[in-house]
Structure 1
Amino acid sequence: MSNQEQILQQLRTWMNELFEIDEEKIQLETHLYNDLDIDSIDAVDLIVKIRELTGQQIQAEHFKSVRTVADVIEVVEKLQQRQA
């Protein structure tokens, strides 16, 4: 998984599986908390999935600044760059 579209598709799959969110609602500009009702517990579940994907440890406090799906993709891209 190397580009934004692939990461976005993976996020859509995870969010559908974990939170039963319709994949069509998950767009780059979608706000996690306001639009998708993702709470802090849900965010931890998402962090675990990202850790599985990247093999990188994510600190929960670093994820606090994440607001949109695009922000999540940016975090994943940075972790993948560190891994390479």
Structure 2
Amino acid sequence: MNKEEAFAEIRKNLIEIFEIPEDDIKQDAKLMDDLGLDSIDAVDMMVQLQETTGQKVSPEQFENVVTVDDLVALVIELTEK
């Protein structure tokens, strides 16, 4: 999965699951500060990433995810395994 595909998938999930307005979803947007996600949303996002990539996401992998771009990088990393 390339960067554009990963961003499109994450954007779709943020819109559909978390009801984030599409215009708010930018690669440098902070998940908690800018998009209003909380720790429970983070768990839901981890589950969604596992479904998207078919790979298990560890808490350690997810703890450094702060921005949408960090999520994109994680999806790319997981799909390259």
TM-score normalised to structure 1 length:
0.90
For this pair of structures, how many residues does the alignment match?
A: 81
Unpaired runs of 5+ in structure 1? none
Q: Hey, what's the Cα distance between the residues in 1 that align with 2:12 and 2:41?
A: 15
Provide the rounded CA distance (Å) in 2 between the counterparts of 1:67 and 1:32: 6
| 1:47-62 correspondence runs (5 A) | 47-62=46-61
Which gives a bigger RCO, structure 1 or 2 (Cα 8 Å, sep 6+)? 2
> Are positions 1:28 and 2:34 aligned together?
no
Q: CA deviation at 1:49?
A: 0.9
Q: Which runs of 4+ in 1 moved over 2 A?
A: none
State the alpha-carbon separation in 1 of the partners of residues 80 and 4 from structure 2: 16
1:78 aligns with 2:77: yes
Measured in 2, the distance between the counterparts of 1:62 and 1:10 equals 19
User: Counterpart amino acid of 1:66?
Assistant: V
Percent identity over the alignment is 40
Distance 2:80 2:63 in 1: 20
2:9 aligns to what? 10
Instruction: Determine the C-alpha separation between the residues in 1 that align with 2:40 and 2:51.
Output: 17
Distance 1:22 1:35 in 2: 11
Unaligned runs of 5+ in 2: none
Write the distance in 2 (CA, Å) between the matches of 1:24 and 1:3: 22
Where 2:17 maps in the other structure, the secondary structure is: helix
